[in-house]
Structure 1
């Protein structure tokens, strides 16, 4: 069996132009690439008839975050909390979680102030403009 390695974490968004500035400007992730993919092979590959995907790839320090807006779009399925079956989140590490938290714009929704868990990790969960969960941690 071939060796697998992570390539990206994908997040489907309803409005790429509205969501991308959050990841680029608020979280400070550089944009690596932007592109659109369509055609029969893409639609068959993703299992969505007539699909077109508009993509932005961002560099998260060794991991790639892929934001994708689909046409046609579908009903939203954002999980309200992390303990729901099927819930997902992206985890990003920082050297100083308190400084990161203090630097967040007031409009960014967080689930709480930074918390230090019994494992010793400090965590902060926030939401992007579409409600997707992002964990920022200081291990």
Structure 2
């Protein structure tokens, strides 16, 4: 079978004006040119890969603000986990705020996966993992 590589992850958003700044400003992703599709959205660069935000007025099926790390999610990988954690903390994200707070995150410096992981959610309750996997 030919080698495959991940090209992009598509994320549903009910409000591009909330989601675009979240992915651009929190994660430092840069906006790419996007064809004029009949549905709104944005494409963002993430290294050699991309994150595609697709507007769907109904949002995703998620309605629970709690972070469920065993639910569907995608993961960013970093070689500076502590640096990412510091950046998120400076932006107000914390494991000390209530679970339903938009700035709530779960942090696992060690665990069964064998590498540090943190989880947070975007404005549409999509779970995003950031890990320090080698």
Give, in whole Å, the separation in 2 of the partners of 1:126 and 1:23: 12
Give, in whole Å, the separation in 2 of the partners of 1:93 and 1:7: 15
Q: Does residue 123 in structure 1 map to residue 110 in structure 2?
A: no
Q: Which moved more, 1:104-113 or 1:88-97?
A: 104-113
4+ residue runs of structure 1 moved beyond 4 angstroms? 1-5
Give, in whole Å, the separation in 1 of the partners of 2:118 and 2:59: 28
CA shift digits 1:13-35 (9 cap, x unpaired): 00111110111111001111244
Instruction: Please report how far the alpha carbon of residue 7 of structure 1 lies from its aligned counterpart in structure 2 after TM superposition.
Output: 2.5
Instruction: Give the length in aligned residue pairs.
Output: 120
Give, in whole Å, the separation in 1 of the partners of 2:113 and 2:120: 20
SS at match of 1:129: coil
Q: Note the 1:52-67 alignment, pairs <5 A.
A: 53-67=39-53
Residue in 2 that maps onto 1:88: 72
Instruction: Give the gaps of 5 or more residues in structure 1.
Output: 39-52
CA shift digits 1:101-135 (9 cap, x unpaired): 11111156243234312342100001112211100
Q: Note the 1:36-115 alignment, pairs <5 A.
A: 36-38=36-38, 53-70=39-56, 73-74=57-58, 76-78=60-62, 80=64, 81-83=68-70, 87-104=71-88, 105-107=91-93, 109-115=103-109
Instruction: Please report how far the alpha carbon of residue 10 of structure 1 lies from its aligned counterpart in structure 2 after TM superposition.
Output: 0.5
SS at match of 2:40: strand
TM-score after normalising by structure 2: 0.75
